[in-house]
């Protein structure tokens, strides 16, 4: 009997220790940025050139870059986060787990919504995701409304360890939004950019989507991917470019086309419009001046413009876009070497 009870208590002590090792997360003092696919260099260059943060990442997990000193980063960035991070693990921890169930249970105990970012152990991550409450990770059909609910991010770094954070910087799963593509009707793939911009303006600025009765002015519209989305929502579009749009749009009664330099038409010549768009390839300085003319005119309520980068990014200039009240800059999943500036009037 004596022998047996000793063994039992030994077993209990061992089991408790083991259990605490397996399910207790190790909080980390750092911060982890998830780069857009194949855009890690842009993230690293932004950290260095925008924030003067040139620490080397302590760990790199696929496109996820972990830096050890969050406090040092936040001090240098004045609390701002990089545009070229799809999402950010704001309070990362490591979790060592023995089974798929225990990993999922631990994440669930922290909050409902979790999305994976995987670069290894894909099957195991999928099994964990299946045990977590459902979130939509599929391609979305535009228009879609994204809820403002916190969504955690986790990534398996080996079979028994994950890095995760319940607090992240994006409401999108792993900062990712992809639409079901239409390979036949849009005149250019740029339509995906305006679909994402409008979705994000709705999410971040509470902008209403253009709809039947809305008026839009669009600079640099050819061949017409953005126009195609806007008229698809029922809006009318005054499109300006040096080159004509696709014939189906030129014949659309909701489209008025003018062959002109969009930047030399004044807001007064165009008249009041609900939305102003620009996807013109031009120097950011020129775009900023044009935006200021529109804002000063008071003749529009919403704007979405692509800031196209030419070589090295002029960060102080980007800060001037960011400083415009009521505006946001984001890097879209469908942006390349460019950022998207969006603005909604705060005056009703």
Ligand X SMILES: C[S@@+](CC[C@H](N)C(=O)[O-])C[C@H]1O[C@@H](n2cnc3c(N)ncnc32)[C@H](O)[C@@H]1O
Q: Which stretch binds ligand X (CB under 6 A): 95-103, 154-162, 182-190, 337-345?
A: 182-190
Q: Which stretch binds ligand X (CB under 6 A): 28-36, 109-117, 240-248, 327-335?
A: 240-248
Of the candidates 24, 21, 25, 67, the residue with the CA atom closest to the CA atom of residue 43? 67
Using DSSP, state whether 134 is helix, strand or coil: coil
The correct pick among 153, 174, 222, 273 for binding ligand X (CB under 6 A) is: 222
Q: Does 223 bind ligand X (CB under 6 A)?
A: yes
Q: Does 226 bind ligand X (CB under 6 A)?
A: yes
Closer residue to ligand X in complex, CB, 162/219: 219
Closer residue to ligand X in complex, CB, 119/263: 263
Which residues in 260-279 contact ligand X (CB under 6 A)? 261-263, 279
Q: Does 188 bind ligand X (CB under 6 A)?
A: yes
Q: How far apart are CA 108 and CA 95, in angstroms?
A: 13
CB-CB contact of 232 with 194 (8 Å): no
CB-CB contact of 236 with 216 (8 Å): yes
Q: Does 243 bind ligand X (CB under 6 A)?
A: yes
CA distances from 213 to 102, 187, 236, 254, 322 (A): 53, 23, 7, 10, 30
Least Å distance, CB 286 to ligand X, is 8
Closer residue to ligand X in complex, CB, 52/281: 281
Q: How far apart are CA 209 and CA 207, in angstroms?
A: 6
Least Å distance, CB 188 to ligand X, is 4
Q: Does 210 bind ligand X (CB under 6 A)?
A: no
Q: Does 233 bind ligand X (CB under 6 A)?
A: no
**Burial (Cβ within 10 Å: 0-12, 13-18, ≥19) of residue 304:** buried
DSSP 8-state class, residue 159: T
| Contacts with ligand X, residue ranges (CB under 6 A) | 187-188, 190-191, 219-226, 240-243, 261-263, 279-282
């Amino acid at each position: 009997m004596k022998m047996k009870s000793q063994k039992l208590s030994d077993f209990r002590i061992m089991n408790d220790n083991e259990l605490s090792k397996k399910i207790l997360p190790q909080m980390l003092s750092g911060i982890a940025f998830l780069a857009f696919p194949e855009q890690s260099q842009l993230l690293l260059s932004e950290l260095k050139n925008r924030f003067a943060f040139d620490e080397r990442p302590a760990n790199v997990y696929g496109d996820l870059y972990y830096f050890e000193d969050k406090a040092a980063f936040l001090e240098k960035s004045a609390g701002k986060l990089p545009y070229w991070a799809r999402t950010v693990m704001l309070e990362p921890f490591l979790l060592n787990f023995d089974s798929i169930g225990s990993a999922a249970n631990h994440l669930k105990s922290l909050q409902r919504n979790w999305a994976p970012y995987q670069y290894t152990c894909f099957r195991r991550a999928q099994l964990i995701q299946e045990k977590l409450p459902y979130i939509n990770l599929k391609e979305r059909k535009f228009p879609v409304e994204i809820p403002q609910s916190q969504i955690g991010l986790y990534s398996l770094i080996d079979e028994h360890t994950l890095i995760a954070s319940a607090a992240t910087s994006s409401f999108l799963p792993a900062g990712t939004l992809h639409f079901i593509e239409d390979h036949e009707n849009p005149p250019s793939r740029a339509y995906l950019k305006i679909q994402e911009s409008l979705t994000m303006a709705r999410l971040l600025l509470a902008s209403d989507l253009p709809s039947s009765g809305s008026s839009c002015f669009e600079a640099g519209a050819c061949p017409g991917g953005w126009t195609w989305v806007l008229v698809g929502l029922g809006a009318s579009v005054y499109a300006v470019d040096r080159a004509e749009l696709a014939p189906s749009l030129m014949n659309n009664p909701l489209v008025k086309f003018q062959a002109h330099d969009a930047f030399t038409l004044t807001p007064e010549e165009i008249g009041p419009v609900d939305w102003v768009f620009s996807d013109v390839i031009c120097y950011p300085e020129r775009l900023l001046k044009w935006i200021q003319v529109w804002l000063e005119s008071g003749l529009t309520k919403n704007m979405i413009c692509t800031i196209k980068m030419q070589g090295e990014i002029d960060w102080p200039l980007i800060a001037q876009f960011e400083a415009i009240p009521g505006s946001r800059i984001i890097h879209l999943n469908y942006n390349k070497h460019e950022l998207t500036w969006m603005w909604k009037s705060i005056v009703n």
